[in-house]
Amino acid sequence: METDQLHLVEWLKRIQASWSLSPSALSHLLSVPEAELTHHFGMTRDEIAELPSIPSGLESGVGLVGLYRLLLTVYPTVEEQLKWLELPNSVFEGRKPIEVIAMSPAHLAYVTYTVESGLRLGPKTD
């Protein structure tokens, strides 16, 4: 299936698998109850196809998918993405991008903005 044709739920499943996130970790990133995420992830492809483009309760997933797609262009391999996500970064006052993403949807937007604008500085050095 072409990635442009993926449903939001399928994108979130892809992110979870690609970044090796537990359901708990992904629900934390999305600020969504784990039960809500588990419910959607348990659906069949046909059931997912019947959902609205942005299912109620998963609105925060849109921003994460946007960041994921952007990171695919900047850091094409999973290893590069994970390294960037997990290393403390001076742009985020020494925090790991993955920690900043989990703080709030506004923080996720800020992380996305920094990547879009080219503020992709490497790990913090002292």
**Domains of the chain, residue spans:** 3-116
Residue 67, pLDDT score: 96
Rounded distance between C-alpha atoms, residue 33 and residue 84, angstroms: 26
Contacts of the segment 15-18: beta carbons below 8 A, 24+ positions apart: 15/64, 15/65, 15/68, 16/41, 18/68, 18/78, 18/81
Identify whether the C-beta of residue 78 lies closer than 8 Å to the C-beta of residue 20. Answer: no
Owner of token pair 């006052």: 93
Alpha helices for 31-96 (secondary structure H): 34-41, 45-50, 61-74, 78-86
Residue 15, pLDDT score: 97
Rounded distance between C-alpha atoms, residue 10 and residue 49, angstroms: 10
Q: What is the pLDDT of residues 43-98, one digit of tens each?
A: 999 999 999 999 999 999 999 999 999 999 999 999 999 999 999 999 999 999 99
Rounded distance between C-alpha atoms, residue 66 and residue 125, angstroms: 28
Q: Average pLDDT in the 98-109 region?
A: 94
- Enter the pTM of the model: 0.87
